[in-house]
Amino acid sequence: MSGFVSFVSSGPGDPELLTLKAVDRLSRADAVLFDDLSSGPILAHARPGADLVGVGKRAGRASPKQDHVSRLLVDYARSGARVVRLKSGDSGLFGRLEEEIMALRGAGIGYEIIPGVTSAMAAAAAAGIPLTRRLTARRVQFVTGHDVTGALPEDLNIAALADPQATTVVFMGKRTFGLLAARLMAAGLAPETPALLAESVSTPAQKLARGTLASMEALIAAEGADGPALILIGPLVDGA
């Protein structure tokens, strides 16, 4: 007997940002494998008696290996369980979704993907700004700030990221932002380009700090917070 896996996007942390479909799948799941950032009040929507298994990965902390997470998904589904894989933000953005899908396909297990509010959208909303702006920010680009080793990826398209008429959102980039900023400025992006540091978006621990491309590295160090963060860069981040 084979079960079914729902990849449920939990949004940035505020349980009120869950979709109705996400709440439905949580309420009917036999097992919920959740990321660290999807825990807390969001899990209150899980069915009483469901197995709740933490499988989150956080930079610099001991975390389950990806093959272990994929194996858990397969094993639960093979037992006939309705499984929710609860991922923070939107599961399709820097969430290791593809590896888990491939494991399910290889085992012949059915699945669905339920989209959610990405932290980039929530950060812009919290700051009271749009991600696009007519004439000056026609394009939005999402990029990861680190590779599997924790370093700034060497294959980033710096020329594209230095586009002054694009809004760039850097995920998981606090540790490497100084190097990224230096490369962007060397490629011609103005040091005074507005930047926004958004930490623990939509949660009680939320912090928003405004700066510039040149000042953001020092601002990150001064904030010293350990929460999940992203950095927005572009012509609209100043809110003007």
Taking the model in full, what pTM does it have? 0.90
Do residue 105 and residue 63 come from a single domain? yes
Domains in the chain: how many in total?
Answer: 2
Cβ within 8 Å of residue 179, ≥6 positions away: 152
Do residue 80 and residue 132 come from a single domain? no
Active site residue 87: no
C-beta of residue 192 within 8 angstroms of C-beta of residue 209: no
Domain span at 224: 119-233
Give the chain's mean pLDDT: 92
Do residue 227 and residue 143 come from a single domain? yes
Active site residue 57: yes
The pLDDT tens digits for 111-128 are 999 999 999 999 999 999
- In the block, residue with structure tokens 């799941």: 29
User: Which is catalytic among the residues 35, 90, 163, 174?
Assistant: 35
The residue among 90, 91, 230, 96 whose CA lies nearest residue 169 is 230
Do residue 12 and residue 53 come from a single domain? yes
User: Which is catalytic among the residues 21, 24, 36, 57?
Assistant: 57
Do residue 189 and residue 142 come from a single domain? yes
Q: Is residue 240 part of a domain?
A: no
Tokens (6 digits) for 234 = 């572009």
DSSP state of 43: G
Distance set, CA 113 to CA 44, 98, 170 (Å):
21, 11, 24
Give the C-alpha separation, 129 to 140, whole Å: 13
Last residue of a domain, one of 114, 139, 161: 114
Do residue 107 and residue 212 come from a single domain? no
Cβ within 8 Å of residue 23, ≥6 positions away: 45
- pLDDT tens, N- to C-terminus, the chain (240 residues): 679 999 999 999 999 999 999 999 999 999 999 998 888 899 999 999 999 999 976 555 556 788 999 999 999 999 999 999 999 999 999 989 999 999 999 999 999 999 999 999 999 999 999 999 888 888 999 999 998 888 999 999 999 999 999 999 999 999 999 999 999 999 999 999 999 999 999 999 999 999 999 999 999 999 887 889 999 999 876 654
The pLDDT of residue 37 is 83
Q: Is residue 238 part of a domain?
A: no
226: domain CATH number is 3.30.950.10
Last residue of a domain, one of 114, 139, 158: 114
